[in-house]
Amino acid sequence: MGLLDGRRALIFGVANDHSIAWGIAKALHDAGATVGFSSVESLIERRVRPLATSLGATFVEPCDVQDDAQIARVFERWREAHGDDAGLHVLVHALAFARREDLEGAFIDTSREGFALALDVSAYSLVALTRAARPLLRRGSSVMTLTYYGAEKVVANYNVMGVAKAALEASVRYLAADLGPDGVRVNAISAGPVRTLAAAGISGFKTMYGQFADVAPLRSNIGIDDVGGTALYLASDLSRQVTGEVIYVDGGFNILGVPAPEG
C-alpha cells in the first residue's frame, strides 16, 4: 500500500527531467498517486508528454497561466477525463518566470512591465489555479508551491523573482486561511539551488551552486528527489495538520547567519 493510493495529483510546471516538478511527480507516482500534467504548450509534445508516458500518465494539457480561459479549460478537461468522480487530491504549482534582463544587474532597474510579468506568472498564478481547482479539491487535499530563500533575504541577481516569491509565500498563507475550513491545506517548499532550466536563467547561478555544498550544514547539494520526498509528505495524511507553512529543503542553509566555507 502506498501513501497516496487512490489519489489524483495535477502538476503544473514540468519542463524537463531536471525539473523539481518532475522530481515531485515521480515521488507522488511511486507512492500510488495517479498523476496528470500541465505545462506551456511549446513543451508539451517534445518534453512533457514523453515524461508523462513513462509514468503511465494520460492527462497532459497545455496551459498559459496568464489566461484564465486556458486555466478553466484544463480543469474542465480534468472533469471530462475523470467523470463524475473528478476529485483532485493534490495540486502542485511549480511555475515561475521573469525576464532574463531582470535577473541580472540591479533590482532598481526592473521595469514596470517586467515586475508585473514576474508577479503574474510566479505568484498570482497560484491564486488563479487554486481558485479554479477549488470545486474539485476534497477534504484532506493538498496544494503546494515552490519558493526560494531569496523571498526572505537578498540573493545576488535574484532581483524581481525574490519579490515575486515573497508575494507567493504571502499568498500561501492567505490561501491556507481561505481553504482551511474546507479541510484543504496550502504549503510551500523552499528548496536550495537545484540545476534546472529556470535556474540557468539567473546570472551567477553556477558559482552559487558550486559553493553551496561548502557552506550548507549538511554539506551537500540539493536534488529533485530531495524535494520530491518533502512533497510526498505534504501530499499525504502525514501532514494533515500542516498548512500555511514554508518548509525548507536546503540542507540547513537558511539557518546560517554569515555562511562561509571551512578554511
In the chain, domain spans? 8-249
C-alpha to C-alpha distance for 122 and 78, rounded to whole angstroms: 23
Active-site residue (options: 124, 149, 158, 174): 158
User: Is the predicted pLDDT of residue 263 greater than 80, yes or no?
Assistant: no
CATH code for residues 8-249: 3.40.50.720
Q: What percent of the chain has pLDDT over 70?
A: 92
Please give the residue that has the higher pLDDT: either 84 or 24: 24
Cα separations (Å) of 2 from 16, 27, 34, 61, 260?
Answer: 26, 11, 12, 26, 41
Beta bridge partners of 34: 8
Which residues does 3 contact at the CB level (< 8 Å), separation at least 6?
31, 32, 232, 235, 236, 237, 238
State the average pLDDT over residues 105-112: 96
* pLDDT at res. 182: 98
C-alpha to C-alpha distance for 214 and 221, rounded to whole angstroms: 9
Active-site residue (options: 148, 149, 233, 248): 148
* pLDDT at res. 197: 52
158 is catalytic: yes
User: Is the predicted pLDDT of residue 208 greater than 80, yes or no?
Assistant: no
Best-predicted range by mean pLDDT among 82-96, 196-210, 219-233?
A: 219-233
Kindly report, residue by residue over 34-50, the tens digit of the pLDDT.
Answer: 999 999 999 999 999 99
Q: Decide if 78 contacts 101 (C-beta within 8 A).
A: no
